[in-house]
Amino acid sequence: TWYTGSAGWMYRLLVESLLGFHVEGDKLTINACVPDDWDSYGIDYRYGDTTYRIMITQTRGNGSPGACRFSVDGIALAEAVLTLVDDRQEHRIDVMLSR
């Protein structure tokens, strides 16, 4: 019905368009469109039996605006794409977005 469909679209609007959280297969990307005064926000995401605790922080002057850097459990990634793995552990993902 209209109610079920609109709830699904609202979820997609908020999570994918505003927060920038996008999963396709086993690839996670962040392309946020949040206001400049949002310094940070977090997302807890389950992939199979694995929990990813994701903290997105907006920074000023660390790269070109819109640039994104990932680190997984304290280790920086070369690309702004995370390959999700279902290893039944909890992982901390830090994402730095340049404003």
Summarised one tens digit per residue, pLDDT across range 39-89 is 999 999 999 999 999 999 988 766 666 678 899 999 999 998 999 999 999
> pLDDT band for position 35 (50/70/90)?
confident
Instruction: Describe the chain by its helix, strand, coil percentages, rounded to 5.
Output: 15, 45, 40
pLDDT at residue 3, rounded to an integer: 66
Query: What would the two tokens of residue 85 be?
Result: 């793995």
DSSP state of 9: H
What are the structural domains, with CATH classification, of the chain? 2-98 (2.60.420.10)
**CA angle 82–33–68, rounded 5-degree value:** 35
Backbone phi, psi, residue 51, to 5°: -105, 130
Q: How far apart are CA 15 and CA 65, in angstroms?
A: 21
> pLDDT band for position 99 (50/70/90)?
confident
Summarised one tens digit per residue, pLDDT across range 6-26 is 878 888 888 888 888 899 999
pTM above 0.85, yes or no: no
